[in-house]
Amino acid sequence: GFGGAPKFPHASDLDFLLRRSGSHKDDFARQAVMQTLEAMGRGGIFDQLGGGFFRYSTDDRWEIPHFEKMLYDNGALLRLYADAWLVEQRPLFADVIERTARWALREMQSPEGGFHAALDADSEGGEGAFYVWDVDLLRAALPPDQAALTDAHYGLERLPNFEQRAWHLHVEKPVDEIARSIGLGLDAARARLEAARLRLFEVRETRPRPVRDDKVLVSWNGLMIGGLARAGQVLERPEWIAAARRAVDFIRRELWQEGRLQACWSEGEARLTGSLDDHAFLLDGLLVLLEAAYRPQDADFAVELAEALLSGFEDLEHGGFLMTRHDHEALIVRPREGRDAAMACGNSVAARALLRLGHLTGEARYRRAGERAVTAWIGAAGSEPMGFSSLMVAAAEMLWPPVTGVVCGVEASLNTWREAVAKLYLPHGLVVCVADEQPAPDWLRKQGENRVNGWVCWGVECLPPANRADEFIRILSEMVNAPGIS
C-alpha cells in the first residue's frame, strides 16, 4: 500500500499501476499492485467473515480498520480485484471477489434494485463491536478441530489486537501453510476453515447490527454497477451481472426524469439534481455492463447520459466539466475539480468514459469533449501525480485510442466468444457482443454472413472480420499489445 497510518486503499492509484503493468510490461508496478491486494485481502480492512472492505486501516499493516463500510470503496475494489485476477489467477483474489459480491447483494441491495450507501462503524457497544471477538467465545462456538485451525489461521494465540481486549480477524497464516504443518490435506483444511467461517458468521449475525445508511446515491451505484459487471463477467457469475442490471433499471426508472438525472433516492423519493460525479460514474459503469452483457436499453442510456454530460456540464471556456449543471442555482463560484480523492475524480472518469464511448460509437463530439477534459487538467498532474491517477488513465486513452471489438451473431453461438473475451485483461480494449436477435444501434450492428463474426478496430481503422473465436482473440490481443497502443 501507500504510506503509513491511516492507510487507505487508493483504488485509483492501484488501477493506474495495474494498467501500466500490462501496457508497459512494468514488473515493479505489477508487483506493487499484487502485493497490496494480497495484504488487503488477508488484512483486517477486509471483513474475513462477511466480506466487503472497511473504509481504511488505522495502522500501516491493514490490520485494524475504521469499521465503516462504504459502497463506493467496495464497487471500485471489486472491479480492481477482478482485473487483477485476470492478470494473476491468485485464489485469494477470487475469494475476495466472491465474498465482496455476496456482501453487496446480501446487505446493500434494496428490494427495488438500488444499492444503499454505507454501513455505520458503530453498533450497540461502540465502534467495531459487531465485528470483534472475545477469543474464548470464538473458540467455544467451534468444534475443537475447527477452533485449532482458526487459531492458527487468524493468529489467535497472540495478544488481542483491538484495544488490547478483543480480536479483529485477519489472516496470520495461509491455510496451505497450516495444512502442511499439521499433515492435513489442503482440500480438507479449506473445508474445515470454511465451516468455521460460516459458523462464526452465523454467531455474529445474532449481534446488534450497525446502522445502514439507506440512501441510494447514483455516483456510488455507478461504481458498484461496474464492479459487479466486471466481476460477473470474469468469474462467470450471471447473478452478479443481473444485480448490476437491476440497479441500472432502478436508476433509470426512478431517478432519470425527462432527460435529467437525480442524485439520490431517499425515503421513497428522488432528491437533488445529479452532479458531474453522478453522470460520470453511472456512464462508466454502464460501459462495463455493456461489455459484460449487452442490452439495447443500456446502450441507449449510455448515449443519453453522454449527451447530458455535454449539454449540462461541459466547461466550454476552460475544457473539462463543472461539478454542477449549467442551470443549477447561481453560485459565487461554480466548482471544478481535477484531483482524485476517496473516489476517482469525476472529470477524469467522464473524460475516459466519453473517449471510450466515442471510439465505440464513432461520435467525434464525445472524443473531443474527453480530450478537452484531459488537456484542461494535465498540467497539474506533473506536480502531484498521485492526485491524478485516474486522469493519467484517461490521458493514455487519449494518446493511444482503445482497441474496440464488436462481435455479432446468433445468441446460441455467442457464448464461446464471450467466455474467450472474459479471460483477457484489456486495459486499452473494449469489446461488446451483440446477438442478432437483439435490437442494436447502427454503431453496434455489423453485417455478417449468417454466422458469428468479430470486428476489431483501432481509431477509425477496422480489420476484416474474424469468424472464429480463437482468431478474434489473437487479433484482439495483438492489437492491444501493439507498439504505439501500449
Q: What is the pLDDT of residues 270-297, one digit of tens each?
A: 999 999 999 999 999 999 999 999 999 9
370-422 confidence digits (pLDDT tens) = 999 999 999 999 888 889 999 999 999 999 999 999 999 999 999 999 999 99
Q: How far, in Å, CA of 117 to CA of 98, rounded?
A: 20
> Given the C-alpha cell 503493468, which residue does it identify?
21
How far, in Å, CA of 60 to CA of 43, rounded?
11
| pLDDT number for residue 480 | 80
What is d(CA 7, CA 143) in angstroms, rounded to the nearest whole number?
A: 36
Identify the structural domains of the chain with CATH numbers, from first to last: 14-42+91-114+218-399 (1.50.10.10), 402-486 (no CATH)
Amino acid occupying residue 128: G
Question: Which pLDDT score, from 0 to 100, does residue 483 have?
Answer: 45
Cell of 122: 458503530
**What is the predicted pLDDT for the residue at 382?**
85
Mean pLDDT on 163-191: 95
Paired with 109 in beta bridges are 115
Give the orientation angle of helix 276-292 with respect to helix 346-361, to 10 degrees: 40
Question: Of all helices (H) and strands (E), which one includes residue 381?
Answer: helix 364-381
The neighbouring-strand residues paired with 212 are 119
pLDDT interval class at 447 (50, 70, 90): low
State how beta strands 260-266 and 256-257 pair. antiparallel
Asked if 80 contacts 231 with a C-beta cutoff of 8 angstroms, the reply is no
Residue 22 has pLDDT above 80, yes or no: no
Cβ atoms 278, 263 nearer than 8 A: yes
Contact 223, 72 (CB under 8 A): yes
State yes or no: cis peptide before 427, omega within 30 of 0: no
What CA–CA distance (Å, rounded) separates 353 from 366?
9
* pTM given for the model: 0.96
Would you place residue 328 in the very low, low, confident or very high pLDDT band (cuts 50, 70, 90)? confident
Mean pLDDT of 31-58: 98
Closest among 146, 141, 122 to 196, alpha carbons compared: 146
Q: How do 269-273 and 403-409 pair as beta strands?
A: unpaired
User: What is the arithmetic mean of pLDDT over 63-68?
Assistant: 98
Task: Give pLDDT tens digits for 74-110.
Answer: 999 999 999 999 999 999 999 999 999 999 999 999 9
